[in-house]
Structure 1
């Protein structure tokens, strides 16, 4: 069996990456300035423990509660995330990535600064979105990664972005093929409409067939009852909402829910040759 970068980073086949959603940060409308950054760190530490003790294969740290999102973030966001991750680093025991929503360049900067192995972002395309007209510049972003010494940072391209529609009239297979050929993603993510929303299985099949050797991840809507089905289609999964108490986006990660899904994932992986 050919070894891929996924095998080298995660050890296991078909890894499940857990989202570690940071509470609102300074500059965000929802930031609790009275409780301060210490409260954000405390919550992140609690959830990191629940995710790791529950058995996830990796974590991705994001500013998920920086609603409404910016497509070019203010410096305070990545700076604060770097401070928080720095405090958590001694306790991070699994491969980790970062995601500064929705800013690919800031995500790469944060990964280089903290030693993260991967980032996930919208690196390609032009979209009509809930955040306005959303444009990207993957060539500039790729060159920026090289300039800041981030060539080792793997890039997860989300080609079905949440809360947005691709402006060009192109089918998903064509988008996948040209993304792979022209923009050199390390992995491709396929999403539903929002965080926690189901990812269409047929969309995963289409992307997987068109992506060639590039790994494909299910990015939203993975649950204990469907994780085996989704991992059968894809090369891995990214899970956020399901791991939270009662499966509610705003709640904190709960160890028992993590264990429930990861048990099903491990049972599925036993069947792999």
Structure 2
């Protein structure tokens, strides 16, 4: 039994990825959009997911393009306010991702009682954001310092928009993280956005990452979810749950329910 059972009451979990609207301070923020409008939108999204039977939801600032390595103080302040209001009356477990600032995500998680943070946490990368050098020691120590040790860390493997500078193979990378960086779970991305990792990769990470649960970070569909759940412990899902399967559209409660009905056949 893993912490998935404690948080989600399931050993095989499906986590929706919810994108907050562009926030004040980001280039795509629509001037004049009130904080209350963002709160209402967020509540409606979370409500659709909960009513559709989703196990959990990871909430992030994916629409704050282009991403910063280290966000300003406005981002955690705004998101904490939004989620404190938007989650009222709802029971669905939430997690936080901040692109790219794991410490800000931990602070938000502490403020809003989120159950996990999905982030990169460690490694050296080059890509659209330039160079990123991360040490899990910073996140682990910060979590300890704010008394947030109940917040679980979900390590993203093969994060988007960048490439690891080192040439370690995936199995070695997982084993090193497990030994040195205190992960609570792994989320493996496919080689391209929307593309699932291979089932062989998921099985390998599942084996190498024991006892941590392993999920696919993208690419799960109604057609492959049975195979995914046989290879690992769950999936992050977004596009297939939205109206017209368009990333910028709201979640469709009926699509969520249809997807979760398929999932139940394999759990």
TM-score normalised according to structure 1 size: 0.94
SS of the equivalent of 1:91 reads coil
Question: Structure 1, unaligned stretches of length 5 or more?
Answer: none
- 113, 116, 133: which one aligns with 2:114: 116
TM-score normalised according to structure 2 size: 0.96
- 239, 242, 260: which one aligns with 1:241: 239
- 38, 41, 52: which one aligns with 2:39: 41
Equivalent position of 2:153 in the other structure: 155
Which deviates more, 59-68 or 168-177? 59-68
Equivalent position of 2:71 in the other structure: 73
Q: Following the alignment from structure 1 to structure 2, what is the Cα–Cα distance between the partners of residues 193 and 79?
A: 33
Equivalent position of 2:184 in the other structure: 186
Equivalent position of 1:200 in the other structure: 198
CA contact (8 A) 1:51 1:253 kept: yes
SS of the equivalent of 2:190 reads coil
Q: Following the alignment from structure 1 to structure 2, what is the Cα–Cα distance between the partners of residues 203 and 154?
A: 23
SS of the equivalent of 1:198 reads coil
Question: Structure 2, unaligned stretches of length 5 or more?
Answer: none
Equivalent position of 2:84 in the other structure: 86
CA contact (8 A) 1:227 1:261 kept: no
- TM-superposed CA distance for 1:117, in Å, is 0.9
Q: Following the alignment from structure 1 to structure 2, what is the Cα–Cα distance between the partners of residues 195 and 54?
A: 25
CA contact (8 A) 2:170 2:205 kept: yes
Aligned residues: 267
- TM-superposed CA distance for 1:193, in Å, is 4.3
Q: Following the alignment from structure 1 to structure 2, what is the Cα–Cα distance between the partners of residues 53 and 244?
A: 14
Equivalent position of 2:2 in the other structure: 4
Q: Following the alignment from structure 2 to structure 1, what is the Cα–Cα distance between the partners of residues 204 and 104?
A: 30
Q: Following the alignment from structure 2 to structure 1, what is the Cα–Cα distance between the partners of residues 190 and 23?
A: 25
SS of the equivalent of 1:158 reads strand
Q: Following the alignment from structure 2 to structure 1, what is the Cα–Cα distance between the partners of residues 124 and 177?
A: 13
CA contact (8 A) 1:15 1:57 kept: yes
- TM-superposed CA distance for 1:86, in Å, is 0.8
- TM-superposed CA distance for 1:92, in Å, is 2.2
Q: Following the alignment from structure 2 to structure 1, what is the Cα–Cα distance between the partners of residues 133 and 100?
A: 11
- TM-superposed CA distance for 1:170, in Å, is 0.8
SS of the equivalent of 1:126 reads strand
- TM-superposed CA distance for 1:209, in Å, is 1.8
**Alignment map for 1:138-153 (pairs within 5 Å):** 138-153=136-151
Equivalent position of 2:128 in the other structure: 130
- TM-superposed CA distance for 1:7, in Å, is 0.9
